[in-house]
Amino acid sequence: MSHPGLHHGESVCPYCGVGCRLWVEAEGERLIRVKGVEDAAANRGRLCHKGATLWHVIDTPDRLRFPLQRTLGGGFRRISWAKAIKLIAGRLRGLHATHGPDSVAFFGSGQLDTESAYLACKLFKGVLGTNNTDSNSRLCMASAAYGYSSSLGSDGPPTCYDDVAEAETIVILGSNMAEAHPVTFDLVRQRKRDAPLTRIVVVDPRRTPTAERADLHLPLRPGSDLAFLHALAKLLLPDADRGFIAAHTTGFEAFEAYLAQQDLNALIAETALPEALVRDTAQALRGRKVLTFYCMGANQSREGVAKNLAIVNLHLLLGQIGMPGAGPFSLTGQPNAMGGRESGLLAHQLPGYRLTANEVHRAEVAAHWGYPAGALSPRPGLTAVEMFRALETGKLKAIWIAATNPAASMPDLHQVQRALRQAELVVVQDCYHPTETTQHADLILPAAQWVEKDWTGTNSERMVSFSPRLIAPVGEALPDYEIIRRVAVALGAQGFDFPSREALWDEFRTLTSGRPCDMNGMSAARLCSARELQWPCPHEEHPGTKRRYLDRAFHTPDGRARFHVNKPVGPHERTDAEYPLILTTGRLAAHWHTRTRTGKVISLNFKAPGPSLQIHPHDAGPRGIEDGAEVVVSNRRGFVRVVAEVTETIPPGTVFTTFHWGDLHAPHSNANYLTHAALDPISKQPEYKYAAVEVAAVRTWVPAAPVVSDPTEMLNA
Ligand SMILES: Nc1nc2c(c(=O)[nH]1)N[C@H]1C(S)=C(S)[C@@H](COP(=O)(O)OP(=O)(O)OC[C@H]3O[C@@H](n4cnc5c(=O)[nH]c(N)nc54)[C@H](O)[C@@H]3O)O[C@H]1N2
Ligand SMILES: Nc1nc2c(c(=O)[nH]1)N[C@H]1C(S)=C(S)[C@@H](COP(=O)(O)OP(=O)(O)OC[C@H]3O[C@@H](n4cnc5c(=O)[nH]c(N)nc54)[C@H](O)[C@@H]3O)O[C@H]1N2
Ligand code: SF4
Ligand SMILES: [Mo]
């Protein structure tokens, strides 16, 4: 199908989980403009700079056009799709037969559409019989998913964007919304303009652009959120909504008893916050409708699940849930991390918020697929970090990576690179080549992008949207789901001969029937005309659901929400004399992750041209570090070279850098050479937000990394 002349259509932004609807204009197969859709719930005409420049990055010189195979000489050569599919199916079949089902793995992404995530789950869990099917959402949303399901009985936020306009106090904890979810942050600013008495409370060690706009900014010590949340709960005990607690929750007695044992002064001392600020925050929560946004400052921690549960505890304590303008609102990172969770891409999940560990759930899914009852394995699958550990030891032989760039984004990168070198088979499915990860591939498969295919996704507020194909894919690129489907067919698998994408979607959405994320009423045909609908939406006449739990009936077996007692364990790595600074990592407004797209937009690079390190003058001064000077940040795992940004927006003792620049763009500048792979014991999400490091000025010329293996050789201390 070709598209002659000027034409236009609607799509959804393939960057963050806000899920802005885009009005896309094209000339033939070339995009010429992207604007916000005026009547879209998520953005009402707004877009951020990244979204508005998307049209630049479709047909670039490094766009992958054909399947590529590694040659004996180490380069790549073009091969046909038929050959690529045959090779992959043959290798997977061979490894499966020789080493068993758990010798192969799929590592996907919250940037895959729901159709692709569902099909990967069906192929690996249903056909190959392994739960080694995880995604980069493990690095991102796993703690939130466990937090919601342990407290409310189901994953997925109770809230919607319209709640912002009704909230009286908006708490933003561990989220830099102004840079990472800018269009939703616009709603927060709008609320403040419309109702100036609205209180905005930002809990973040750094004075971020989000914190700049807060009424109260709490620059707590990194990692001390549990102490902070417990101090708040203790201060708010007299304000507890005891009627709500008695009727709709369990576990309050244990929670109250735990708080009674805690010493308020000790908790506040742990956060390093002035007591008055904590008391002012409690005051801002009293008797007001409270909406709490939270993101990676909560999730990417060894206590990620506990932090999520402690946020929900506060809402249960105050009865601030299941009503307009209130609730715990976990911000989703990627465009379709929600859809990935709904379709069972994480290792512990099955489609429809089912669990691999649940025998009844396994049987339900197998029956829907027409597979024998025992087809699905009860063995726990490897999660993201565990996959790369198992690849290095040889326990895992093959990894199929789609829509993620782990050779830049995983923690402890040296380990990840060793793992990729060790693997017997690495298949990488991306839109561009080279990336840090495609360089490790045996086979590289070209994926069609968001405007080049029909696809479905779910945003942060449970809004499910269908996006039609607006232009033809470049070269021979195919939608991710079509690539997975062809491999399944080549493996001789039953149940992959879908006559259309619609048939594939309909198979999935009927499997969610009766589940908390019920999308049964969203047939492909209805979604195509309605454009967007919020789950739960159980039947075709159902209008969709803006807010969950308005009836206070939670998804737990007894219908009651659960309080949890969360004892702090503290960060995995501690600072010491050798590595006295805390490194925290995250994002900048101008770039999307490993920059495979934003790195090509001149105006975005102008805003953030290269890797930098935020450091306080107290820490920079004694080290002889001036603003704009090159520095080396090092620890026991590695070192990076970045440019110092001496600033008082970061507290003394803490430094901040990003993982936006991989080795292809700025060798040895990526935060992940320094991060470690300690995991939250429940969610298995890594603690990207806390590592111990030292920083030193580079005063002499040093050869480009990694020639120098001992980072201290570079230091001129
Ligand atoms: N521009 C841009 N936007 C994005 C992305 C992007 O790459 N670029 N990525 C998307 C994705 S996938 C995600 S997951 C989201 C992430 O969105 P955010 O979570 O908002 O972004 P981060 O910068 O990772 O971290 C947020 C904040 O956590 C703070 N923090 C660090 N340690 C702690 C702590 O111990 N406690 C508290 N309370 N805060 C702490 C950091 O200082 C930082 O400001 O952004 C999405 N949006
Ligand atoms: N230090 C540190 N590291 C972090 C984090 C942090 O805060 N600090 N955050 C973590 C988090 S929350 C996340 S989500 C991850 C993100 O990490 P990644 O997922 O590795 O980052 P991206 O650069 O978004 O990689 C996505 C890849 O998919 C490709 N792609 C885009 N669209 C498609 C498509 O439709 N199909 C296919 N097949 N490919 C596509 C892109 O070209 C790109 O190569 O990083 C994690 N790493
Ligand atoms: S706020 Fe997020 S979804 Fe909206 S345009 Fe920006 S990156 Fe895209
Ligand atoms: Mo993320």
Q: What local confidence, expressed as pLDDT, does residue 4 receive? A: 82
pLDDT at 366 over 50: yes
What distance in angstroms lies between residue 333's CA and the mean position of ligand 4's atoms?
4
**Could you tell me the pLDDT band of residue 2, with boundaries at 50, 70 and 90?**
confident
Nearest one of 278, 244, 240, 275 to 260, comparing CA atoms: 240
Residues 33-70: tens digit of each pLDDT: 999 999 999 999 999 999 999 999 999 999 999 999 99
479 band by pLDDT with thresholds 50, 70 and 90: very high
Whether the pLDDT of residue 564 is over 90: the answer is: yes
Say how many C-beta atoms besides its own lie within 10 A of residue 529's C-beta: 7
Question: What pLDDT is stored for residue 699 in this prediction?
Answer: 75
- Measured at the CA of 485, the angle between CA 479 and CA 489, to 5 degrees, comes to 150
d(CA 343, CA 118): 5
Rounded mean pLDDT of 432-445? Answer: 98
For residues 279 and 50, give the distance between their C-alpha atoms in angstroms, rounded to a whole number.
38
Which atom of ligand 1 lies closest to the CA of 17? Answer: 46
- What is the whole-number distance in angstroms between the Cα of residue 89 and the centre of ligand 1? 38
Angle, helices 501-511/359-369, rounded to nearest 10 degrees: 150
Locate tokens 């520095």: which residue? Answer: 631
pLDDT score of 702 more than 80: no
Token code pair at residue 412 = 């402890």
Q: Which residues line ligand 3 (CB under 6 A)?
A: 13, 15-16, 18-20, 43, 47-48, 50-51, 182-183
User: Which amino acid is located at 690 in the chain?
Assistant: Y
Q: For 565-596, how does the pLDDT look when each residue is reduced to its tens digit (9 = 90+)? A: 999 999 999 999 999 999 999 999 999 999 99
Query: What is the mean pLDDT of the segment spanning 316-330?
Result: 98
Question: Which one of the ligands is nearest to 12 CA?
Answer: 3
Name, in order, each residue with C-beta under 8 angstroms of 570's C-beta and a sequence gap of 6 or more.
223, 302, 303
Residues in contact with ligand 2 by the CB-under-6-Å rule are: 14, 109, 111, 136, 139-140, 296, 300, 333-334, 402-406, 409, 429-432, 435, 447, 449, 480, 585-586, 592-594, 596, 659, 671-672, 675, 688
Sheet with 455-458, side-by-side order of all strands: 455-458, 463-467, 532-534
Provide the CATH topology of domain 6-56.
N-terminal domain of TfIIb (2.20.25)
Residues 467-476, mean pLDDT to the nearest whole number: 98
Give me ligand 1 centre to Cα 26, in Å: 33
Is 80 exceeded by the pLDDT of residue 715?
Answer: no
Ligand 2 atom with the shortest distance to the CA of 429 = 38
Going by alpha carbons, the residue nearest to atom 22 of ligand 1 is 586
Express as a percent the part of the chain with pLDDT over 90. Answer: 97
pLDDT attached to residue 700:
55
Q: Pick the closest to residue 143 from 606, 681, 641, 699 (CA basis).
A: 681
Between the CA of 587 and the centroid of ligand 4 the distance, in Å, is: 10
pLDDT digits (tens, 9 = 90+) for 121-156: 999 999 999 999 999 999 999 999 999 999 999 999
3-state helix, strand, coil in the chain (%, to 5): 35, 20, 45
Task: Starting from the CA of residue 331, give the closest ligand.
Answer: 1
Alpha carbon of 9 to ligand 3 centroid (Å): 17
Domain extents for the chain? Answer: 6-56, 68-138+342-534, 142-330, 581-715
180-198 pLDDT, tens digit per residue, is 999 999 999 999 999 999 9
* CATH architecture of residue range(s) 68-138+342-534: 3-Layer(aba) Sandwich (3.40)
Mutate to test the pocket of ligand 1, among 224, 311, 583, 587 (most ligand atoms within 8 A of CB): 587
What pLDDT shows up at residue 330?
98
pLDDT bin (cut points 50, 70, 90) of residue 1 is low
| Ligand approaching nearest to the C-alpha of 441 | 2
For residue 114, the CA-to-ligand 2 centroid distance in Å is 16
Please name which ligand lies nearest the alpha carbon of 686.
2
Which strand (E) or helix (H) includes residue 22? strand 21-27
Atom of ligand 3 minimally distant from the CA of 14: 8
Structure-block tokens of residue 589: 């407004």
Q: Which residues of 249-285 are buried (b: 16+ CB within 10 A; e: fewer)?
A: bebbeebbebbeeeeeeebbebbbbeeebbeebeebb
Closest Cα to atom 27, ligand 2: which residue? 404
Query: d(Cα 534, Cα 522) in Å, to the nearest integer?
Result: 9
The correct answer on CATH 2.40.40.20 for the domain covering 581-715 is yes
Mean pLDDT of 223-243: 98
Give residue 180 CA to ligand 1 midpoint distance, Å: 7
**Domain 142-330 classification at class level:** alpha beta
What's the gap in Å between 643 CA and the centre of ligand 1? 21
| Ligand 3 pocket mutation, candidates 12, 16, 604, criterion most atoms within 8 A of CB | 16
The helix-helix angle for 304-318 and 252-261 (nearest 10°) equals: 110
| Nearest CA owner, ligand 1 atom 12 | 333
Sheet with 398-402, edge to edge strand ranges? 76-78, 68-70, 443-446, 425-430, 398-402, 104-108, 133-135
Mean per-residue pLDDT over the chain, rounded? 96
- Phi, psi angle pair for 272, to nearest 5°: 60, 20
Mutate which of 10, 18, 21, 332 for ligand 3? The one with the most ligand atoms within 8 Å of its CB, which is 18
> Closest residue (by CA) to atom 4 of ligand 3?
20
Q: Are strands 216-218 and 199-203 parallel, antiparallel or unpaired?
A: parallel
